Structures are given as structure tokens and as C-alpha cells.
Amino acid sequence: MPQAVYDAQLNPGCMKKTRVRILSETAAWIKDPDSLKICWITGMAGTGKTSIAKTVCEQASADAEIILGGSFFCSRSTGLAAQRDIRCVVPTLAQILAINSVDFLLALAETVDDGIQYKVVAMQTEQLLRTPLSTLKDESVPILFVIDALDECGGETTDGMLDETKCHAVVTSMLEALIGLTQSNPKLPVKFLVTSRPEAQIRDTSISNDKLSQILRLHTVDTTEVNADISRYINETLKTKLAGNPKYRASITETDVEKLVQFCDGLFIVAATTIAHIFGAGADAALAKFKMLLNPSRNSLNNRATAPLDSMYEMIMNDALREDEPEASELQALQRLLASLLSARTMLSVTVLAGLLDLELYVVKASLSRLHAVVHVLKDDDIPGLRTVHASFGDYLYSRASSSIRIPQLLGHDILAHGCLDVMAKQLFFNVSQSASSYVPDSSLMYLLIIIRELVNKTT
């Protein structure tokens, strides 16, 4: 079952004494017979979803009060087609549990039909999981299934692989089938932990219904808690790797570490990438690299350190542009949207952004739905809150992205300036303040003029 193999070298899981609250709450959820049967951990790229899933698996394996039924770690980076094929998830989970549970194996042998691996995912879920699970006698110990990085299923069409559209349809079908499984029998001793980025094909299923699944959004976790974990990760890693060079470690101050923590901005992937870059040439070169890592002139990581981040951003942008083979005009529209977000001096709402770009609201929302991994979008279209998840995404688009998707830095300022002028041309009119007399000072009019002046100043 190669699709179930998880390489600890790619992600060793959470460091000890980090993510303590999240992991303890997850363990409590697994053991609580009255809790919802599905937990969805969602977060932007780099927020540590896979590390949490890996650690939950490790802890469940060592806990006599939990049965780790099976795990499936989806991945586009390993090169294994099976780890990107959504059709492998349910058969893999059933196969792993059958290997570890004789009772489940016997029940499965009685219910499974030949060729079930080729059936639709809803039928797979019924025959490979729900029916045999319902026959198990011991219902006191919960059986945990972990499905990590569900958004990474799919990809370029290769021999036997699904294209993006078909893959998304199967993802939707599988999630609805799992929800149906947990709702069909409340006493069923199973729990499903699913992690993913907040992609549309996942958000639009019943898993986003908080009455059907427990939801943990990692990008909304308290900043102080996240920064403390990142700081511990950096300090402990430096301590371990520089154990033989105490003078080197002593020369890295708390202020140095704090600067790096602030740059990470809540993203564990930035911290991990940074540490990997620092020690790439060994401990002797690590000190110099650490001191030079944050370039004061750009306040960003140098190009060699950002290579893993760039690969991730490239994948996200390619995914956003792959659907329906977008034409040049669609690429330009996406670039204009991102350029506007990167250049805005204050967070915009979806409605305001649509107005500035002179686009229909549904067009902007459709574009943003493909960028949830790198752009934070609020549910309410009228509340300001649009922002990129991390400043490194802007650096990538401005300077390191391929020429086809790179964004000129002045583009956003030009778009916003013209957008403001167009909005004023359409919405300003004589006596816009409804003043009773042109001879009497109107404070509301003066306030409006100040706002217009400030808006123009910010975008030019």
C-alpha cells in the first residue's frame, strides 16, 4: 500500500511541547463518544496541518484508548501517483484496518464485492467501511482514520489519473459519503480527522457545517500561541544542531530569534524552510547564514532560502489557473486582482474590490475561491479583511515568479488609482452631501472630501 506510506523525513511532525492545546483538544475529541464524528482541520498553506496530522497518528498509535484505523497522507510532491489519487483513500483505510483487526477483516470479507476498487467512492465507503464497521462488537474504543492534505489530490492528467474537474467531484462525493456514514449510526465507534487547505471543492461540502463536523481553522488560532510554538521550534532546533558549537549558539541572541519569529508571521513552513537553509552547508556556515538571512534592505528571505516556498506558491498559482484552461484575459484578470490586494494600504472588502476593478461581485468571488490557500477571505463580502496570508507571497509575485505570472510592482497602484477615479466619476454628483445651503459650512461634506483626498493619496 505505497499510497499510505508517510516519509517522516519530509515532515517529522510537531516538536515536543508545541501545539500542545490543539493536540490535547484533538485527543479529547477522539475519546469523547458524544462528540461529532468528523473533525476538519483547515488552514492556509504552511500553517502546520500535516505536522499535526502526523503527530495525532503517532499519539493514537501509542494510546491504548484509541485504535488508529488507518491514515492516508495525500501529496503532490512525492512523485507517487497513488498519493494524488482520491480513489485510493477509502480502499487504503479499509486495507490498513483489516491488517490490524481480525474482526474487521472477517466482516469485510463477507460484505465486499469483487471489483469494489473500481466502484464509485460512495459505494466504496458503504462496502469497505460502514457495513463492516457496524458489525464490530467492541464499541468502547474509538477507531480513528486520518486523511491529510485532501486538497492535494488531483493534478496533471497522467496514465490512469483523474483530471482536476473529475477529481474535485470525487473529493466532494467522498466527503459527503463520510458525513453520511457518521450520521447513519451515531453509535458507530469511528472518528475521521481530515486536514486540508480551505479550497472551494472542500468548503462547499457538508464538512464545513459545524453541526456535522468539528472545525478547527489554524489561521485563526491566537497569534501569541502560534509565535510561542515557532519560537520554541527555532530555539530547540538551534540548540540541537549547534550542540557541538556552544559559542555559535551563544552569539545568536533572543532578539535575533524574535526577528525571525516575526518574519515567519505564523507560518511554520517559513520557520522550517529557514532552518533548513541555515544548516544546508553545515554548522560552521550556519552562524553567518543566520545573521545574513533577513536582508534589511528588503526585509525578506534571500532567494536560496525561499526556493521551497516558491515551489509551493507556484503550485498554488498553477492550480488557480488550470481550471477550464484559462485564456490570457483570465490570467490578466487574476493578476489585476492580486496586484490590487498587494498594493492596497488597508484591507478591502470583496464588494469594494469588485467596485474598484469594475467587475461583477461573483467574478471576483470566483477568482478568490481559487486562492484561499494564500489569500484570507472573510465570509461577509462587505467586511474589509482581504489580505495575503504572508508577505513572502507578494515578494514571490513581484520578483521570483515565472515571467508569465509575475506582477509589476506599479500595476496595483495604477489599477487602484484609476479605480478610485472611476468610482468617483460614477457616484459623485452635485450636492452629494444634500446640503441645505451652499453658504452654510457642512461638516459632513468636509469629511467626505477628506476621505476622498486620503484615498487618492494612498493609491498614488
* Domain ranges across the chain: 2-220, 223-301, 309-412
Select the more confidently predicted residue: 445 or 211: 211
Is pLDDT above 60 for 9? Answer: no
Task: Name 289's Cβ contacts closer than 8 Å, sequence gap at least 6.
Answer: 277, 278, 280, 281
Beta strands in 330-390 (DSSP E): 375-376, 387-388
What tens digit of pLDDT does each residue of 221-280 get?
A: 999 999 999 999 999 999 999 988 888 889 888 988 998 898 788 888 888 877 877 887
The predicted pLDDT at position 328 comes to 67
The predicted pLDDT at position 10 comes to 46
- Give 72's strand partners: 147
Band of the pLDDT at 426, cuts 50, 70, 90? confident
The answer to whether residues 131 and 96 touch, using CB atoms and an 8 Å cutoff, is: no
- Give 147's strand partners: 72, 194
> What is the rounded distance in angstroms from the CA atom of residue 197 to the CA atom of residue 285?
36
Select the more confidently predicted residue: 164 or 142: 142
Question: How many Cα atoms sit within 13 Å of 343 on the Cβ side?
Answer: 27
Tell me what the mean pLDDT of segment 48-60 comes to: 95
pTM greater than 0.85 (yes/no): no
The predicted pLDDT at position 7 comes to 42
Task: Name the 3-class secondary structure at 427.
Answer: helix
What tens digit of pLDDT does each residue of 331-355 get?
A: 888 899 999 999 987 889 999 999 9
Secondary element (H or E) of residue 194: strand 190-196
The predicted pLDDT at position 187 comes to 83
466532494: which residue's cell? 172
Are domains 2-220 and 309-412 of this chain identical in fold? no
Task: Name the 3-class secondary structure at 166.
Answer: helix
The predicted pLDDT at position 183 comes to 93
Phi and psi torsions of 88, nearest 5°: -90, -15
CATH of 309-412, one of 1.10.20, 1.20.1070, 1.10.10, 3.40.50: 1.10.10
Select the more confidently predicted residue: 304 or 434: 434
The predicted pLDDT at position 36 comes to 96
| CB environment 23-39: b (16+ within 10 A), e (fewer) | eeebbebbeeeeebbbb
Select the more confidently predicted residue: 50 or 298: 50
- Helix/strand/coil (H, E, C) string of 292-335? HHEECCCCEECCCCCHHHHHHHHHHHHHHHHCCCCCHHHHHHHH
Count of helix runs (H) and strand runs (E) in the chain: 20, 9
> What is the rounded distance in angstroms from the CA atom of residue 177 to the CA atom of residue 57?
23
Share of the chain above pLDDT 70, in %: 83
CATH number of 2-220: 3.40.50.300
Q: Which three cell numbers stand for residue 134?
A: 457496524
Band of the pLDDT at 155, cuts 50, 70, 90? low
Is pLDDT above 90 for 357? Answer: yes
> What is the rounded distance in angstroms from the CA atom of residue 260 to the CA atom of residue 293?
9
Burial class (CB in 10 A: 0-12, 13-18, 19+), 119: middle
The predicted pLDDT at position 138 comes to 62
Share of the chain above pLDDT 90, in %: 43
Band of the pLDDT at 206, cuts 50, 70, 90? very high
Angle at 420 between CA 416 and CA 424, to 5 degrees: 170
Beta strands in 27-116 (DSSP E): 38-42, 67-73
DSSP for residue 396: I
> What is the rounded distance in angstroms from the CA atom of residue 425 to the CA atom of residue 34?
59
The predicted pLDDT at position 1 comes to 36
The predicted pLDDT at position 263 comes to 79
Question: Cα–Cα distances in Å, from 196 out to 172, 201, 379, 418, 455?
Answer: 13, 11, 18, 38, 37
What is the per-residue DSSP string for 102-156? HHHHHHHHHHPPTTGGGS-HHHHIIIIIIHHHHT-S--SSPEEEEEE-GGG---S
Burial class (CB in 10 A: 0-12, 13-18, 19+), 353: buried
Which of the residue ranges 15-19, 125-129, 159-163 would you say has the lowest mean pLDDT?
A: 159-163
Is pLDDT above 60 for 326? Answer: no
488609482: which residue's cell? 417
What tens digit of pLDDT does each residue of 264-297 get?
A: 888 888 888 778 778 877 788 888 878 777 655 5
What mean pLDDT is reported for the chain? 84
